[in-house]
Amino acid sequence: MDITPIPAFDDNYIWLLQTAGITLVIDPGDAQPVLAHLQTKGLALDHILLTHFHYDHVDGVQALTESTGATTIGPADPRLRVPCEEIQANTEQWQTFGLGNLEVNVLSVPGHTVPHLAWYLNGHLFCGDTLFSLGCGRLFDGTATQLHHSLQQLCRLPDDTLVYPAHEYTLANLRFALHILPDDAALQAYGEKLQQRRQRGPTLPVLLGEEKRCNPFLRCDEPMVQQAVALRSGQAVHNALECFTLLRQLKDRFRG
Protein backbone atom coordinates (compact mmCIF):
# COMPACT_ATOMS: atom_id res chain seq x y z
CA MET A 1 0.00 0.00 0.00
CA ASP A 2 1.44 3.36 -1.09
CA ILE A 3 0.21 6.18 1.16
CA THR A 4 0.98 9.86 0.53
CA PRO A 5 0.16 12.86 2.74
CA ILE A 6 -1.09 15.81 0.68
CA PRO A 7 -0.83 18.98 2.81
CA ALA A 8 -3.81 21.34 2.82
CA PHE A 9 -4.66 24.58 4.65
CA ASP A 10 -2.44 25.23 7.68
CA ASP A 11 -2.11 21.74 9.14
CA ASN A 12 -4.42 19.29 7.36
CA TYR A 13 -3.30 16.11 5.66
CA ILE A 14 -5.36 14.60 2.86
CA TRP A 15 -4.26 10.97 2.71
CA LEU A 16 -3.97 9.43 -0.76
CA LEU A 17 -3.76 5.65 -1.04
CA GLN A 18 -2.80 3.42 -3.94
CA THR A 19 -3.41 -0.27 -3.42
CA ALA A 20 -4.99 -3.28 -5.16
CA GLY A 21 -5.28 -1.28 -8.37
CA ILE A 22 -7.34 1.41 -6.61
CA THR A 23 -6.57 5.06 -5.85
CA LEU A 24 -8.54 6.76 -3.09
CA VAL A 25 -8.30 9.83 -0.91
CA ILE A 26 -9.54 10.45 2.61
CA ASP A 27 -11.07 13.75 3.74
CA PRO A 28 -10.21 16.03 0.81
CA GLY A 29 -10.99 19.47 2.19
CA ASP A 30 -9.30 21.07 -0.82
CA ALA A 31 -9.46 19.65 -4.34
CA GLN A 32 -6.57 21.54 -5.93
CA PRO A 33 -3.60 19.85 -4.23
CA VAL A 34 -5.21 16.46 -4.86
CA LEU A 35 -5.82 17.19 -8.54
CA ALA A 36 -2.26 18.47 -8.88
CA HIS A 37 -0.88 15.29 -7.33
CA LEU A 38 -3.05 13.07 -9.53
CA GLN A 39 -1.90 14.91 -12.64
CA THR A 40 1.78 14.78 -11.64
CA LYS A 41 1.63 11.06 -10.94
CA GLY A 42 -0.70 10.21 -13.81
CA LEU A 43 -3.31 8.70 -11.49
CA ALA A 44 -7.07 8.26 -11.83
CA LEU A 45 -9.06 8.73 -8.62
CA ASP A 46 -11.54 5.94 -7.88
CA HIS A 47 -12.97 6.64 -4.43
CA ILE A 48 -13.25 9.28 -1.71
CA LEU A 49 -13.71 8.26 1.93
CA LEU A 50 -14.98 10.79 4.48
CA THR A 51 -14.81 10.77 8.27
CA HIS A 52 -17.06 13.73 9.15
CA PHE A 53 -18.72 16.86 7.82
CA HIS A 54 -16.30 19.69 8.73
CA TYR A 55 -15.39 21.89 5.79
CA ASP A 56 -11.66 21.17 5.92
CA HIS A 57 -12.48 17.51 5.32
CA VAL A 58 -15.16 17.72 2.62
CA ASP A 59 -15.01 20.99 0.67
CA GLY A 60 -12.95 19.47 -2.14
CA VAL A 61 -15.34 16.60 -2.77
CA GLN A 62 -17.56 18.21 -5.38
CA ALA A 63 -14.69 19.44 -7.56
CA LEU A 64 -12.96 16.07 -7.30
CA THR A 65 -16.04 14.11 -8.26
CA GLU A 66 -16.73 16.44 -11.19
CA SER A 67 -13.14 16.15 -12.41
CA THR A 68 -12.54 12.45 -11.80
CA GLY A 69 -15.91 10.68 -11.47
CA ALA A 70 -14.79 9.23 -8.13
CA THR A 71 -17.46 7.82 -5.84
CA THR A 72 -17.77 9.16 -2.30
CA ILE A 73 -18.50 7.13 0.84
CA GLY A 74 -19.10 8.73 4.22
CA PRO A 75 -21.29 9.03 7.30
CA ALA A 76 -25.03 9.51 7.17
CA ASP A 77 -25.03 13.22 7.97
CA PRO A 78 -27.04 15.89 6.08
CA ARG A 79 -24.37 18.45 6.98
CA LEU A 80 -21.99 16.81 4.45
CA ARG A 81 -23.78 18.66 1.63
CA VAL A 82 -22.14 16.42 -1.01
CA PRO A 83 -23.45 13.39 -2.95
CA CYS A 84 -22.37 10.44 -0.84
CA GLU A 85 -22.99 6.75 -0.35
CA GLU A 86 -23.96 6.78 3.32
CA ILE A 87 -22.55 4.27 5.80
CA GLN A 88 -24.54 3.39 8.92
CA ALA A 89 -21.58 2.16 10.97
CA ASN A 90 -21.52 0.41 14.34
CA THR A 91 -19.85 1.80 17.47
CA GLU A 92 -18.92 -1.64 18.83
CA GLN A 93 -17.74 -3.65 15.85
CA TRP A 94 -15.90 -2.96 12.61
CA GLN A 95 -17.98 -3.53 9.49
CA THR A 96 -16.25 -4.85 6.37
CA PHE A 97 -17.03 -4.29 2.72
CA GLY A 98 -15.15 -4.45 -0.54
CA LEU A 99 -13.99 -1.75 -2.95
CA GLY A 100 -12.88 -3.84 -5.88
CA ASN A 101 -10.07 -6.03 -4.56
CA LEU A 102 -9.62 -3.86 -1.46
CA GLU A 103 -11.11 -4.84 1.92
CA VAL A 104 -12.29 -1.78 3.83
CA ASN A 105 -13.31 -1.69 7.50
CA VAL A 106 -15.34 1.11 9.05
CA LEU A 107 -16.29 1.94 12.64
CA SER A 108 -18.51 4.65 14.09
CA VAL A 109 -16.40 6.80 16.45
CA PRO A 110 -18.63 9.67 17.63
CA GLY A 111 -17.34 12.37 19.95
CA HIS A 112 -15.59 15.07 17.94
CA THR A 113 -18.76 15.10 15.86
CA VAL A 114 -21.81 12.86 15.66
CA PRO A 115 -21.50 11.00 13.39
CA HIS A 116 -17.82 10.41 12.74
CA LEU A 117 -16.23 7.42 11.01
CA ALA A 118 -12.84 5.73 11.26
CA TRP A 119 -11.44 3.72 8.36
CA TYR A 120 -9.11 0.73 8.78
CA LEU A 121 -7.38 -0.73 5.73
CA ASN A 122 -4.81 -3.50 6.00
CA GLY A 123 -3.18 -2.29 9.23
CA HIS A 124 -3.61 1.43 8.50
CA LEU A 125 -6.05 3.51 10.60
CA PHE A 126 -7.49 6.75 9.20
CA CYS A 127 -9.22 8.36 12.16
CA GLY A 128 -10.01 11.91 11.01
CA ASP A 129 -10.24 14.17 14.06
CA THR A 130 -10.94 11.46 16.65
CA LEU A 131 -7.37 10.49 17.57
CA PHE A 132 -4.23 12.58 17.11
CA SER A 133 -0.67 11.79 18.04
CA LEU A 134 -0.52 12.57 21.79
CA GLY A 135 -4.01 14.02 21.67
CA CYS A 136 -7.62 13.62 20.63
CA GLY A 137 -10.31 15.68 18.95
CA ARG A 138 -12.23 18.54 20.46
CA LEU A 139 -15.83 17.96 21.43
CA PHE A 140 -18.17 19.75 19.04
CA ASP A 141 -21.59 18.09 19.04
CA GLY A 142 -20.47 14.89 20.76
CA THR A 143 -19.84 14.12 24.42
CA ALA A 144 -16.80 13.12 26.45
CA THR A 145 -18.44 9.78 27.13
CA GLN A 146 -18.80 9.12 23.41
CA LEU A 147 -15.25 10.17 22.55
CA HIS A 148 -13.73 8.20 25.40
CA HIS A 149 -15.60 5.09 24.24
CA SER A 150 -14.53 5.68 20.64
CA LEU A 151 -10.88 5.94 21.62
CA GLN A 152 -11.13 2.76 23.65
CA GLN A 153 -12.52 0.99 20.62
CA LEU A 154 -9.62 2.18 18.47
CA CYS A 155 -7.18 0.99 21.14
CA ARG A 156 -8.40 -2.57 20.58
CA LEU A 157 -6.55 -2.57 17.26
CA PRO A 158 -3.07 -4.17 17.19
CA ASP A 159 -0.12 -2.18 18.51
CA ASP A 160 1.56 -2.24 15.09
CA THR A 161 -1.38 -0.37 13.52
CA LEU A 162 -0.19 2.77 11.76
CA VAL A 163 -2.33 5.79 12.70
CA TYR A 164 -3.02 8.56 10.16
CA PRO A 165 -4.83 11.52 11.77
CA ALA A 166 -6.05 14.39 9.61
CA HIS A 167 -3.95 17.14 11.24
CA GLU A 168 -0.35 17.87 12.13
CA TYR A 169 -1.06 18.69 15.79
CA THR A 170 1.66 16.49 17.25
CA LEU A 171 4.09 19.01 18.72
CA ALA A 172 1.32 21.17 20.20
CA ASN A 173 -0.13 18.04 21.79
CA LEU A 174 3.33 17.14 23.08
CA ARG A 175 3.58 20.44 24.94
CA PHE A 176 0.27 19.76 26.68
CA ALA A 177 1.15 16.13 27.45
CA LEU A 178 4.40 17.22 29.10
CA HIS A 179 2.50 19.91 31.02
CA ILE A 180 0.32 17.15 32.49
CA LEU A 181 3.05 14.51 32.87
CA PRO A 182 6.38 16.39 33.11
CA ASP A 183 8.24 13.47 34.72
CA ASP A 184 7.09 10.72 32.35
CA ALA A 185 10.33 9.33 30.90
CA ALA A 186 8.61 7.34 28.14
CA LEU A 187 6.69 10.42 27.03
CA GLN A 188 9.85 12.51 27.05
CA ALA A 189 11.70 10.00 24.87
CA TYR A 190 8.77 9.68 22.48
CA GLY A 191 8.49 13.45 22.29
CA GLU A 192 12.15 13.80 21.34
CA LYS A 193 11.69 11.28 18.54
CA LEU A 194 8.63 13.12 17.24
CA GLN A 195 10.43 16.48 17.33
CA GLN A 196 13.28 15.04 15.29
CA ARG A 197 10.82 13.54 12.82
CA ARG A 198 9.05 16.88 12.41
CA GLN A 199 12.33 18.53 11.41
CA ARG A 200 12.41 16.19 8.41
CA GLY A 201 8.70 16.29 7.51
CA PRO A 202 5.37 15.02 8.89
CA THR A 203 5.30 13.35 12.29
CA LEU A 204 2.64 11.04 10.91
CA PRO A 205 1.85 8.19 10.75
CA VAL A 206 2.52 6.97 14.28
CA LEU A 207 2.33 3.50 15.80
CA LEU A 208 -0.77 2.87 17.87
CA GLY A 209 1.30 0.95 20.43
CA GLU A 210 3.47 4.00 21.10
CA GLU A 211 0.37 6.16 21.44
CA LYS A 212 -1.12 3.70 23.94
CA ARG A 213 2.04 4.04 26.04
CA CYS A 214 2.42 7.82 25.80
CA ASN A 215 -0.80 9.61 24.78
CA PRO A 216 -2.42 10.78 28.04
CA PHE A 217 -5.91 10.60 26.49
CA LEU A 218 -5.43 6.86 26.00
CA ARG A 219 -4.12 6.31 29.54
CA CYS A 220 -6.95 7.66 31.68
CA ASP A 221 -7.20 4.36 33.52
CA GLU A 222 -3.65 4.78 34.90
CA PRO A 223 -3.38 6.03 38.50
CA MET A 224 -0.44 8.28 37.55
CA VAL A 225 -2.49 10.07 34.91
CA GLN A 226 -5.53 10.33 37.17
CA GLN A 227 -3.42 11.85 39.94
CA ALA A 228 -1.86 14.35 37.54
CA VAL A 229 -5.25 15.39 36.16
CA ALA A 230 -6.68 15.76 39.67
CA LEU A 231 -3.73 17.99 40.60
CA ARG A 232 -4.02 20.18 37.49
CA SER A 233 -7.81 20.45 37.59
CA GLY A 234 -8.26 20.74 41.33
CA GLN A 235 -11.03 18.14 41.14
CA ALA A 236 -11.28 14.58 42.41
CA VAL A 237 -10.89 11.82 39.84
CA HIS A 238 -12.56 8.49 40.56
CA ASN A 239 -12.42 6.66 37.23
CA ALA A 240 -11.12 6.75 33.67
CA LEU A 241 -14.11 8.63 32.23
CA GLU A 242 -13.85 11.40 34.83
CA CYS A 243 -10.14 11.62 34.12
CA PHE A 244 -10.73 11.84 30.38
CA THR A 245 -13.46 14.48 30.74
CA LEU A 246 -11.27 16.72 32.92
CA LEU A 247 -8.23 16.14 30.72
CA ARG A 248 -10.16 17.27 27.64
CA GLN A 249 -11.28 20.39 29.52
CA LEU A 250 -7.71 21.12 30.56
CA LYS A 251 -6.57 20.79 26.95
CA ASP A 252 -9.29 23.18 25.81
CA ARG A 253 -7.95 25.83 28.20
CA PHE A 254 -4.24 25.15 27.65
CA ARG A 255 -2.22 27.98 26.13
CA GLY A 256 1.27 26.55 26.41
Interval 73-77 mean pLDDT: 97
Interval 111-132 mean pLDDT: 98
Q: What is the mean pLDDT of the chain?
A: 97
Angle at 55 between CA 102 and CA 115, to 5 degrees: 60
pLDDT higher than threshold 90 for residue 154: yes
Which residues lie below 8 Å from residue 78, measured CB to CB, with a gap of 6+?
none
pLDDT higher than threshold 90 for residue 190: yes
CA distances to 86, 125, 162, 250 from 187, in Å: 39, 22, 18, 18
φ, ψ dihedrals at 30, nearest 5°: -135, 125
CA-based R_g, the chain, Å: 18
Residue among 214, 234, 243 at smallest CA distance from 135: 214
Q: How far apart are CA 176 and CA 127, in angstroms?
A: 21
Interval 145-155 mean pLDDT: 98
* Per-residue pLDDT, 256: 79
Interval 126-137 mean pLDDT: 98
Q: b vs e for 29-41, b when ≥16 Cβ sit within 10 Å of the residue's Cβ?
A: bbbebbbebbeee
pLDDT higher than threshold 90 for residue 198: yes
Interval 70-76 mean pLDDT: 98
Is residue 153 within 8 A of residue 91, CB to CB? The reply is: yes
pLDDT higher than threshold 90 for residue 54: yes
Interval 97-106 mean pLDDT: 94
Strand partners, 105: 96, 120
Residue spans of the domains in the chain: they are 2-253
Q: How far apart are CA 130 and CA 136, in angstroms?
A: 6
pLDDT higher than threshold 90 for residue 195: yes
- The fold of 2-253 is Metallo-beta-lactamase; Chain A (3.60.15)
